[in-house]
Structure 1
Amino acid sequence: MKKIIYALFVFVILSCNESKKSESKKQPLTVAQQIANAHGYSNWKNVSEISFTFNEKRGWTWNPKSNNVVLRTLADTISYNRKQIDSSLTRIDKGFINDKFWLLIPFQLIWDKGITISNPSQLKAPISKTRINKITITYPDKGGYTPGDAYDIYYDDNFIIKEWGFRKGNEPQARIINTFENYKDFDGIKIALNHKNMDGRPIVGFTKVDIKVSNSE
């Protein structure tokens, strides 16, 4: 009986030690992961379809699982699959990538491959002039539609993006600086519907945003 009790005691001690080792091996979340999570990235796995209109000009519907895309304009409706893009679709796909980037930049920090993300720093935001956190993402010099471009991402202590600056080809000065505002929650995914420049003028707006979810992954 004593041997059994001793064996159980040793088993419990070993199990506790293994559990502690496993916990110690867990890597802390990166800033990019924390930003994505703050905007609802954990819910993205349930998204079966997302549709939105960019600046009242282009309407998009995207199925992220199949990568089917539909573009709707006043002139035409075009459907294609991002796995099968030829030269006739390049211009259209560039438009989709641009508009999706504005809409889902918090998740692009996780999705985009080959990017460099700087260490976080604190400074005064260019528009609000409040103390804020900043990281810079830089795209590789080759590949993609915007090689070498850089984005300065300004986010608050809750990891919600408040502003960004776009630097073409990683040039020193930002060509575009704008706000992220009018956040709305779509099935747990937070999206900034409006963006204004330093003069307070609207430059990008999203309407007719709709997200369809499915419980099956």
Structure 2
Amino acid sequence: MKKLLLLSFISISFLSCKDQNTKSEKATEEAELQVQEKIAIANGIKQFDSISQIKFTFNVKVNDTLRTSRAWSWNTNNEKISLTEKDSTMTYTRTDSIAANKQLLDQKFINDSYWLLFPYQLKWSDANFSDEKTMKAPISGNEMKMITVSYPSQGGYTPGDSYDIYYNEDFMIQEWVYKAAGGNRQMATTWEDYEDFNGVKISKTHKSEDGSFELYFSDISVQK
């Protein structure tokens, strides 16, 4: 009986130590992650590899007038992308070399998908990141953590752009400020109306402080 009790105690102690070690290792791994990685993970980047197709409509309203509406279908396995706009559908495949007659189409896709999955771009794209600060967010005025994301002055469709991104304790972006290269144009918008699509978390609505500008996504479908 004493032997059985001793074995049980050893087993429980072993399992307890193993559990504590696992938690300690996980905490260490999380502590070593960069802020941008934590934001990407919080938004579901680890689930993205299991996604085969994303469909969404990119909409922009200015003063309650719909200025832009573009419906996209993106096959993430073969990078085949289709755009439906004004009853016209165009298709192309993203490669390292985009044909000249497809570059405008690709530019639209890059713009729209950046808004859709910007947290993932913190891992995917070539950007520089500032140190984390605590600042007042431009629209709400609430104190939040903030980093600046800066893109190189050469390459891409909008070289030299930067973003101040404000996020909460869960590493979900709440607001950002877009700054065009040269500092001649900037815009602050919210990140709100989050929804989880098969593990991919998307902010469906972005508004300016006065509400005159609204960018929103509709008809979102994320398929595995």
Unaligned runs of 5+ residues in structure 2 are 1-20, 60-67
Task: Decide which of 195, 202, 214 is 1:203's aligned counterpart.
Answer: 214
| Structure 1 residue 32 corresponds to structure 2 residue 36 | yes
Shift of residue 203 of structure 1? 1.9
SS in structure 1 at match of 2:91: strand
Unaligned runs of 5+ residues in structure 1 are 1-18
TM-score for the superposition, normalised by structure 1: 0.83
| Alignment of structure 1 residues 9-88 onto 2, 5 Å | 28-55=32-59, 57-83=69-95, 84-88=97-101
Task: Decide which of 165, 177, 180 is 1:165's aligned counterpart.
Answer: 177
User: How far apart are the structure 1 equivalents of 2:119 and 2:50?
Assistant: 17
User: How far apart are the structure 1 equivalents of 2:190 and 2:90?
Assistant: 31
Deviation sequence 1:171-197 (CA, Å, 0-9, x none): 2x7611000010011011110000100
User: How far apart are the structure 1 equivalents of 2:79 and 2:165?
Assistant: 27
| Letter aligned with residue 220 of structure 2 | V
User: How far apart are the structure 1 equivalents of 2:154 and 2:134?
Assistant: 30
User: How far apart are the structure 2 equivalents of 1:105 and 1:65?
Assistant: 19
| Structure 1 residue 177 corresponds to structure 2 residue 181 | no
User: How far apart are the structure 2 equivalents of 1:62 and 1:29?
Assistant: 29
| Letter aligned with residue 126 of structure 1 | P
User: How far apart are the structure 2 equivalents of 1:161 and 1:201?
Assistant: 21
Runs of 4+ in 1 over 6 A off after TM superposition: none
Shift of residue 64 of structure 1? 1.9
| Letter aligned with residue 134 of structure 1 | M
Deviation sequence 1:119-151 (CA, Å, 0-9, x none): 110011000111101011111011001101101
User: How far apart are the structure 1 equivalents of 2:212 and 2:167?
Assistant: 21
User: How far apart are the structure 2 equivalents of 1:28 and 1:145?
Assistant: 32
Cα–Cα, structure 1 residues 87 and 159, in superposed 2: closer, same or farther, change >3 Å?
A: same
User: How far apart are the structure 2 equivalents of 1:127 and 1:203?
Assistant: 14
Task: Decide which of 82, 92, 100 is 2:105's aligned counterpart.
Answer: 92
Cα–Cα, structure 1 residues 174 and 30, in superposed 2: closer, same or farther, change >3 Å?
A: farther
Counterpart of 1:105 in structure 2 is 118
Shift of residue 63 of structure 1? 1.4
Contact 1:40 1:190 in 2 (8 A): yes
| Alignment of structure 1 residues 133-148 onto 2, 5 Å | 133-148=145-160
User: How far apart are the structure 1 equivalents of 2:199 and 2:153?
Assistant: 35
User: How far apart are the structure 2 equivalents of 1:85 and 1:76?
Assistant: 20
SS in structure 2 at match of 1:47: coil
SS in structure 2 at match of 1:88: helix
SS in structure 1 at match of 2:146: strand
User: How far apart are the structure 1 equivalents of 2:199 and 2:213?
Assistant: 26
| Letter aligned with residue 197 of structure 1 | S
Contact 1:138 1:170 in 2 (8 A): no
| Letter aligned with residue 34 of structure 2 | T
- RMSD between superposed Cα atoms in Å: 2.1
